[in-house]
Amino acid sequence: MTTTNQTADTIARVAPSLVRDTRAAHDNLLRQVQQRDAEPVYHYSIIKNVGHVQLAISTSYIPVDDETVHQTLGDGRGHILIASSVPHRRLARPVFDIVTRRSGQIKRRSGYRLWLAADGDSALLPDQPGRPVWRVVGTALVRAKATRLNETERREGFARADRMLRRVARDA
């Protein structure tokens, strides 16, 4: 990778409140289901904004589905970064979806993981090399060019980022 940026820092800064609020929404949903008589059950996605980037966590009970994506990106600005996870204390190896809107078209790209270098550089790398790399630069999510990484550098960077994300989720 060539330039240090705010990708991991932004995620680490927003993740604690995002994890807490998503857990609370999950607990509320379970309470509604358990206490339900004939009333409708409401669930909602938690979305946190950082400039033009919206961050969300998609769980099996509260998915960030296409309708939510369309509502969030309805004004035609910004990107959504969705972490797929579980609502409990553990944060399994998170995989990110990157959702963009351009010329009225919404595109969802799956299979990205946070990568964190020992020097603090970070990016969202595809699970398979050859696809675009994404970074948070300032308050925007942008496509970036990637320097070639060997398999050891990729594996170590993913492991470093996974540890950071698990620590952030655990402490939330």
For residue range 117-131, list pLDDT tens digits in order: 999 899 999 977 788
| Prediction pTM value | 0.84
- Nearest one of 18, 98, 32, 30 to 60, comparing CA atoms: 30
Residue 1 pLDDT more than 50? no
Please state, in angstroms and as integers, the Cα–Cα distance from residue 34 to each residue in 46, 59, 114, 172, following that order. 21, 19, 36, 26
Residue 38 pLDDT more than 70? no
What was the pLDDT predicted at 31? 82
